[in-house]
Structure 1
Amino acid sequence: MSILNPISITRGDLFFTKELPLHMNRVAESFRLQKHAHDFIEICMVTEGEGEHYIDDIQFKVSKGDLFYIPIGMSHVFRPRSSSPGNRLVVYNCIFTAAYLDELMARNPLEPGILAFFGELGQQCRRLSLQDANGEAERIMQRMHLEYTQRMIGYSACLQAGLVDLLVLVYRRSLAAPSVNGASVDSRLREWLARIDRDVATLYPADKIASDIGISARHLQRLIKAAAGMTLTEYIQVSRIKQSRRLLSETNLKISSIAAAVGYQDMKFYNRLFKQHCGMTPSEFRRRMSSNSSQPVIHEGMPD
């Protein structure tokens, strides 16, 4: 799905005061908000439900614990899985000005690596997609949201301390790759491959998966090749064809509907890919299954 509406710019002066150039909220996302960019930095995290997060031209499937750093000028929007009241997508948003970030960096004894890291994110307009595996980021944002809404004496100092904690956590999460042990990487990789098998219509970007596991995109490709004997793109295609075979043999759905259900809109490409994997077109496969369900129809070399 693509967001075709023109990109609007959300201005920070709608949220900030001179005394506090930081804003916290917790919101149930809807389909009303359009894709937008802003003149401030945002750290946001999903705390409830599932849905999609569109960042520039990339679609991320999101659920509880997905954490994002969105720089100035980058367009994005969240969408819940559906408009049903039972399918809420709840997100914490922490927004602040670049000047406030610079002020925090100057006031606090942060290591040079942290200063350089956030400086480069701003200069390169680079986002981060991370995972709050142990709930630490959510606890920080809960405290910040409570301070922001209750406004007790000293709240601005607590918010400043909370943002420093959050920035350090983001930095540490981004550097998780060197310290992640092999067993953890293998476990997370298996989880992602299972997720791809389960939700075949979603095209997961390699950098999203790699960031979640805590490795580089190049290393991710090497691991998938070693584990499955194919690239990420090939693995997604195999998962989609396997689901296609099941739908062709177990349902009466139109072939075009099956193609769409597994993530393909281009029927010529879908038919060609299916024949490449199965040795016959989808319609031939369905006829073969209908006429003789006991006859093997899987092309040699096609994984089950």
Structure 2
Amino acid sequence: MNNIPPTTLSGELLFRGKLIYVNRASEDFNSLMHNHDFIEFAYVVEGEGFHHLENQVQQVRKGQLFYIPIGTRHVFRPISADPTKHPLSVCNCVFSPKLIDELYPFVSDPGLASFIQALQQDGERCFRLSDTDDSIERLMMMMHREFSMPGEASSDCLNTLLLQFLIVVYRARIGVLPPAARKLNRFDHLLTYMEQNVSQELSLAHLAQISRWSQRHLQRLFIQHTSQTFHRCLQSLRVRKSCELLRHTTFKIHAISDMAGYRDVASFLAVFKRITGMTPSEYRKASALDASDRESFDEEPLEQQEQN
């Protein structure tokens, strides 16, 4: 493979007037070894396989992020030619070095500025990171969704998401953090764990066990960093999840109660009413009416909108 001259991919063919391109691709053996004239971050979203990088071969798996600089030869390959048994899917975020000029005005941290400047000036070597808390995958999926289904102010939205993504990568790239930052990072991971397991039985004792903090100290951290006790924070997360389900699904109330972590529907109804001021049924109806009003407003002629 290394004896075959690599194909050079041009960003102009992908960007089509933009400076960024985000896609999700199922890798196979048809892709050729290639380099490119843009910055690339590739995230493995499914399966395992191999990453051929210059003269090296790296084994890859879900949850790994790869940075591939401009001009670097590489290609991803699955374990076998059968995608049903051995899939390998990669989400790619590629962008022009020119795009970084648009991000600079919003960067004040010297370390972050140096990092993205190195990306722009091809001063950063290839690297690989593990997504320990799914923060990289969430941002990748948000960028892919915005790119595939652009809404109003889509370019600004993509730029904002890209800057968030680069901050997360920069923090992970730093490696060793000072003790105070390390402690806060652990608590942030704990909050992420709660968000991802909101439907499960969550207790302060369980969180203390997995975090190796005492329940008393953990309660202090919740008040310090969320301005809520553990139980109020958990209730807020569960109501937020149930609101999302009420807006976007047609599940029955008792099913949503269970998916939000409440085994007793009466308790769910009481907490939901206290936090939102409405019952779940009232909230669902109000959300549907709000959506209908927005659609009706959008369909009115401009002259009528202005008169209203």
TM-score normalized by structure 2?
0.55
For residues 83 and 126 of structure 2, what CA distance do their matches in structure 1 show?
A: 30
Structure 2 residue 39 is matched with structure 1 residue 41: yes
Deviations 1:39-85 (CA, angstroms, capped at 9, x unpaired): 00001100100000111112110001110111111111100111102
Please list, as runs of the form range in 1=range in 2, the aligned pairs for 1:115-264 lying within 5 A after superposition.
115-121=113-119, 122-124=121-123, 126-178=125-177
Deviations 1:193-221 (CA, angstroms, capped at 9, x unpaired): xxxxxxxxxxxxxxxxxxxxxxxxxxxxx
Contact 1:36 1:76 (C-alpha < 8 Å) held by counterparts: yes
Contact 1:37 1:72 (C-alpha < 8 Å) held by counterparts: yes
Partner of 1:69: 67
Contact 1:24 1:95 (C-alpha < 8 Å) held by counterparts: yes
* Aligned partner of residue 93 in structure 1, secondary structure: strand
Relative to 1, partners in 2 of residues 1:47 and 1:124: Cα closer, same or farther, differing over 3 Å?
Answer: same
Partner of 2:188: none
For residues 178 and 115 of structure 1, what CA distance do their matches in structure 2 show?
A: 18
Deviation at residue 125 of structure 1 after TM alignment: 5.0
What CA RMSD, in Å, does the superposition of the two structures yield over aligned residues? Answer: 1.7
For residues 29 and 163 of structure 2, what CA distance do their matches in structure 1 show?
A: 32
Which residue, out of 24, 27, 49, partners 1:26? Answer: 24
AA of the residue aligned to 2:10? R
Partner of 2:80: 82
For residues 148 and 155 of structure 2, what CA distance do their matches in structure 1 show?
A: 11
Contact 2:70 2:122 (C-alpha < 8 Å) held by counterparts: no
Deviation at residue 4 of structure 1 after TM alignment: 3.5
Aligned pairs, number: 178
For residues 146 and 116 of structure 2, what CA distance do their matches in structure 1 show?
A: 25
Contact 2:36 2:71 (C-alpha < 8 Å) held by counterparts: yes
Partner of 2:111: 113
Q: Unpaired segments of 5 or more residues in structure 1?
A: 182-304
Deviates more, 1:116-125 or 1:55-64: 116-125
Deviations 1:122-161 (CA, angstroms, capped at 9, x unpaired): 3435112111111111000111111111122222221111
For residues 108 and 148 of structure 2, what CA distance do their matches in structure 1 show?
A: 28
Deviation at residue 177 of structure 1 after TM alignment: 2.8
Deviation at residue 179 of structure 1 after TM alignment: 5.2
Deviation at residue 178 of structure 1 after TM alignment: 3.9
For residues 174 and 62 of structure 2, what CA distance do their matches in structure 1 show?
A: 21
Structure 2 residue 8 is matched with structure 1 residue 9: yes
AA of the residue aligned to 1:82? S
For residues 151 and 35 of structure 1, what CA distance do their matches in structure 2 show?
A: 31
* Aligned partner of residue 124 in structure 1, secondary structure: coil
TM-score normalized by structure 1?
0.56
Partner of 1:104: 103
For residues 170 and 139 of structure 1, what CA distance do their matches in structure 2 show?
A: 13
AA of the residue aligned to 1:176? G
Q: Percent of pairs identical after alignment?
A: 37
Partner of 2:57: 59
For residues 119 and 161 of structure 1, what CA distance do their matches in structure 2 show?
A: 17
Q: Unpaired segments of 5 or more residues in structure 2?
A: 183-308
For residues 108 and 97 of structure 2, what CA distance do their matches in structure 1 show?
A: 17
AA of the residue aligned to 2:145? L
For residues 178 and 149 of structure 1, what CA distance do their matches in structure 2 show?
A: 36
Relative to 1, partners in 2 of residues 1:178 and 1:57: Cα closer, same or farther, differing over 3 Å?
Answer: farther
Deviation at residue 109 of structure 1 after TM alignment: 2.8
For residues 94 and 162 of structure 1, what CA distance do their matches in structure 2 show?
A: 11
Please list, as runs of the form range in 1=range in 2, the aligned pairs for 1:286-301 lying within 5 A after superposition.
none
Partner of 1:95: 94
Contact 1:73 1:125 (C-alpha < 8 Å) held by counterparts: no
Contact 2:69 2:122 (C-alpha < 8 Å) held by counterparts: no
Please list, as runs of the form range in 1=range in 2, the aligned pairs for 1:248-287 lying within 5 A after superposition.
none
Deviation at residue 120 of structure 1 after TM alignment: 2.9
Contact 2:42 2:91 (C-alpha < 8 Å) held by counterparts: yes
Partner of 1:298: none
AA of the residue aligned to 1:83? A
Partner of 2:220: none
For residues 152 and 177 of structure 2, what CA distance do their matches in structure 1 show?
A: 41
AA of the residue aligned to 2:167? V
Contact 2:107 2:113 (C-alpha < 8 Å) held by counterparts: no
